[in-house]
């Protein structure tokens, strides 16, 4: 199965380092970050899980829950978590799904046969409170994920869900944003963006971030 942007994130029930997870129920009305790992005790993933744990407050203020996945069992996960906590100077504060039967990996398309028939690729999926898939990034085994980029995308998604704007290249929270092209009426623009805007071209109009 291949998931695409806008699809409903597949629901599942699976064991984890924190017991049985019923995914949609576990997410509740939160945003979710689900990210896969090829196996326990892998070096790059160890750093990623440790860094994710350190982002707990950043995720919390954005109403985001993190959940990881690996094809090893829950007991193996618990041993790996001890290593992560010790080597990364943190405390893992989110579940790691035990996907021994590859059920979740198959649902989400995390098995890429040309890479490996048995191990998951290192994919990351952002899911909104309506359980819709909003972002999919797949990394090679040799490259650690950029979690600052994950937070940046979440900021952009949450902003653009609430305002008629888009975020330009390299945008960071607090930078100017783009007024969407579908808004053409000047009165509507004045109402929505009272701080005004700069028209670089008729279709590229920059305005201060409306929630700042």
210 in the Ramachandran plot: left (φ > 0), alpha (ψ -120 to 50) or beta?
A: alpha
Average pLDDT over residues 83-93: 97
Output phi, psi for 17, to 5 deg: -65, -15
Q: What is the pLDDT of residues 179-208, one digit of tens each?
A: 999 999 899 999 999 999 999 999 999 999
| Domain boundaries along the sequence of the chain | 13-144, 163-207
pLDDT at 157: 98
What residues have CB less than 8 Å from 10, skipping those under 6 apart? 1, 3, 23, 104, 107, 108
Q: Cα dihedral sign for 170, 174, 180, 184?
A: negative
Which residue among 9, 21, 33, 45 is the active-site one? 45
pLDDT more than 70, % of the chain: 95
Q: What is the pLDDT of residues 49-82, one digit of tens each?
A: 999 999 999 999 999 999 999 989 999 999 999 9
CATH says 163-207 is which class?
Answer: alpha beta
| N- to C-terminal Cα separation, the chain | 41
Is there a catalytic annotation at residue 35? no
pLDDT at 162: 95
**Token code pair at residue 165:** 């704007």
Q: What is the pLDDT of residues 168-181, one digit of tens each?
A: 999 999 999 999 99
Domain 13-144 has CATH 3.40.30.10: yes
Give yes or no for residue 128 having a pLDDT over 90: yes
Instruction: Give the helix ranges, DSSP H, for the chain.
Output: 23-27, 43-54, 56-61, 74-88, 103-108, 147-162, 186-192
Residue 138 CA to residue 128 CA, distance in Å, equals 18
Cβ-contact 17, 95 below 8 angstroms: yes
The alpha carbon of 101 is separated from its chain's Cα centroid by a whole number of angstroms, namely 24
Residue 178 CA to residue 197 CA, distance in Å, equals 9
For the chain, the average pLDDT equals: 93
Closest CA to 201 of 173, 186, 179, 185: 179
What residues have CB less than 8 Å from 8, skipping those under 6 apart? 131, 132, 133
Please state at what angle helix 43-54 crosses helix 74-88, rounded to 10 degrees. 70
């Amino acid at each position: 199965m291949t998931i695409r942007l806008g699809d409903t994130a597949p629901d599942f029930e699976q064991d984890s380092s924190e017991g049985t997870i019923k995914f949609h129920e576990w997410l509740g009305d939160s945003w979710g970050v689900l990210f896969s790992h090829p196996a326990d005790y892998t070096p790059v993933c160890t750093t990623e899980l440790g860094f994710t744990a350190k982002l707990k407050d950043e995720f919390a203020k954005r109403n985001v829950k993190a959940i990881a996945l690996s094809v090893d069992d829950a007991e193996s996960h618990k041993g790996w978590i001890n290593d992560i906590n010790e080597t990364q100077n943190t405390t893992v504060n989110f579940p790691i799904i035990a996907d021994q039967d590859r059920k979740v990996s198959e649902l989400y398309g995390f098995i890429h046969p040309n890479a490996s028939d048995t191990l998951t690729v290192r994919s990351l999926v952002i899911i909104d409170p309506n359980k819709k898939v909003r972002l999919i990034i797949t990394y090679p085994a040799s490259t650690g994920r950029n979690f600052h980029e994950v937070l940046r995308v979440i900021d952009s998604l949450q902003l653009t869900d609430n305002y008629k704007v888009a975020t330009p290249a390299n945008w960071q929270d607090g930078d100017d944003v783009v007024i969407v092209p579908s808004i053409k009426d000047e009165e509507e623009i004045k109402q929505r963006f009272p701080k005004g805007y700069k028209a670089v071209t008729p279709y590229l109009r920059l305005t201060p971030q409306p929630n700042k």
